[in-house]
Amino acid sequence: MYAVVDGEIRERFPNTWSTYHATHIEQIPFFHAYPGSRSLLVGTAGCNFSCSYCMNAYVAKEKPENLDLFELTPEKLVKTAKLSGCHNIVFGVNEVTVSLPSAINLAKEAKLHNLPMGCLSNGYMTEEAAGLLADHMSFLNISLKSLSPEFYQKYAGVTDIKPVLRNIEKFAVKNHLEITTPIVQSVNDHEIEEIAKYIRDIDPNIPWHVFRLLPEYKMKDYAYPDIEKISEALQKAGEILPYIYFSNFVGSPWVSTNCPECGKTVINRISLGTCGAKLLNNLLLENRCPGCGEKIAVLEDYEKGIPGR
């Protein structure tokens, strides 16, 4: 996605997108950022990882030359977001750092129009790139695939996990951060408690999305993750970390937000069987539980009104 031109690293396909469509923020997924809001989801092509289970391989692992891409300026995308009634823009589908200048130019334009921008990322980037994302993205969902360097080597094709952990810790200080862990049956399912402790030690208010990864791409022969066993492990992890979610199967009871103090459900969602969920209603009163008044860690935009009420 980059080339050296006249001694400078430049994007080969600036402002060129594989995806732009309106969706709900819960489906991306973000559960604690602007609940119920409409997002313009954008993405390009390519990734700096080679995950054997990539569920977006059709864009992440395909050569951009082979895809139907759309050239759209930041101005046009922001206009599309506004015409589609979107409250924010999210770079997802593939890895944001393979199109960093385009993503940042879009975030700058979005800011001029009062639209916050967020992104999904695997977190594997230099400190400088992480600093740029931290400056320009209001909310991020970083994929923490495992705490094991061997997992990253064997299943993601990278030799070092340290940049991912360093960047997660940096984003947690400066940005609204959510973390996603795709669970691969019999590969990283034993790490649930350890990852929950790692996140709690950074900030217990970070929402953690555990994603039931269906066998995909080069791992089609693997078993489907066992919902009951993972749920059992998550019950225990719930004593460590208050905001744990589990999706990608129909009827998941793990997609609503409960007050960590009194247990009342404060944001109701329904699982449609895919990534994330759909908002049913948001009972929070100025980010506080209507039952006991406990503050719930949710990024809100009260000036624009809260959808789902």
122 sits near ligand SF4 (criterion: CB under 6 A): yes
Residues 46, 1: contact at Cβ < 8 Å? yes
Residues 33, 176: contact at Cβ < 8 Å? yes
Pairing of strands 176-183, 208-212: parallel
Rounded alpha-carbon distances, angstroms, from residue 195 to 24, 81, 102: 27, 35, 32
Return the residue of 15, 56, 138, 188 that touches ligand SF4, per CB under 6 A.
56
Between 47 and 177, CB nearer to ligand SF4: 47
Between 94 and 205, CB nearer to ligand SF4: 94
Segment 155 to 174, residues that bind ligand SF4, using CB under 6 A: 156
266 sits near ligand SF4 (criterion: CB under 6 A): no
Which H/E stretch holds residue 167?
A: helix 162-174
Work out how close the CB of 30 gets to ligand SF4 at its nearest, in angstroms, rounded to a whole number: 16
Residues 215, 53: contact at Cβ < 8 Å? yes
Site string for ligand SF4, 69-108 (x = CB under 6 A): -------------------------xx-------------
Between 12 and 38, CB nearer to ligand SF4: 12
141 sits near ligand SF4 (criterion: CB under 6 A): no
Work out how close the CB of 15 gets to ligand SF4 at its nearest, in angstroms, rounded to a whole number: 20
Between 90 and 156, CB nearer to ligand SF4: 156
Which residues contact residue 282 at a Cβ distance below 8 angstroms, ignoring those fewer than 6 apart?
A: 35, 36, 266, 267, 268, 306, 307, 308, 309
